[in-house]
Chain A
Amino acid sequence: QSVLTQPPSASGTPGQMVTISCSGSRSNIGSATVNWYQQLPGTAPKLLIYSNSQRPSGVPDRFSASKSGTSASLAISGLQSEDEADYYCEAWDESLHGGVFGFGGGTKLTVL
């Protein structure tokens, strides 16, 4: 069972905006930064967003994210077919054993 909760699926048509939520608690999202990863089919995950809303070099500005309280969200604007992938949120959880890491259950994004 994942520490962070994500919807299992999301979908949109090309050009649309899609948002993916990530819900946690005070001990993780509520007190730590959130990262987002994109996993294209058959490949390793790739860091998409770090520190709640920062994009690594090379990530298009169509991808944005935010955090509020114990929830975070990833937004993808101008949806493209190549955005079809699984998306995971991740955060440090300070409540257990001095601090551990947790991932969300993942959201499968389908571009219709």
Chain B
Amino acid sequence: QITLKESGPTLVKPTQTLTLTCTFSGFSLSTDVVDIVGVGWIRQPPGKALEWLALIYRNDDKRYSPSLKSRLTITKDTSKKQVVLTMADMDPVDTATYYCAHRREGYSYGSGAFDIWGQGTMVTVAS
């Protein structure tokens, strides 16, 4: 059974860097497995839509939202079964619930889906 859980600060100040950790179980991000699997981060401001932020695949291929690319870094720690997202220069508009999700691709990149989601963690940006 695949599970994911997000953790990190609930409150950050403007201009600070946010670090979120996704701890998962039930699958591996090690490179000794063939299928295309990754972990992505998606956020949702209160009352607003989902916004994809970043994704890291098992082979360490990383994808970022073009609009936030300069502020985001995604990494994985295979042995700890964790994926870490850092977002620099936080602003009140970054207040949102942040989700991590498992993605299994099909025949190619982008052919899969975010099939299992974490419960999300709410982050407020305020001074």
Contacts and interface: CB of A to CB of B under 8 A. Distances in A.
Interface of A: 2, 32-33, 35, 37, 39, 44-47, 50-51, 56, 88, 90-92, 94, 96-106
A44 B118 CA distance: 7
Given A47-B115, A56-B115, A90-B114, A103 B109 contact: no
- Interface size class of chain B, counting residues whose CB lies under 8 Å from the partner chain: 20 to 34
Contacts of A39: 50
B93 interface: no
B122 to A, nearest CB: 11
B113 A100 contact: no
Contacts of A88: 49-50
B99 to A, nearest CB: 6
Interface string B101-123: 00000100111111111111000
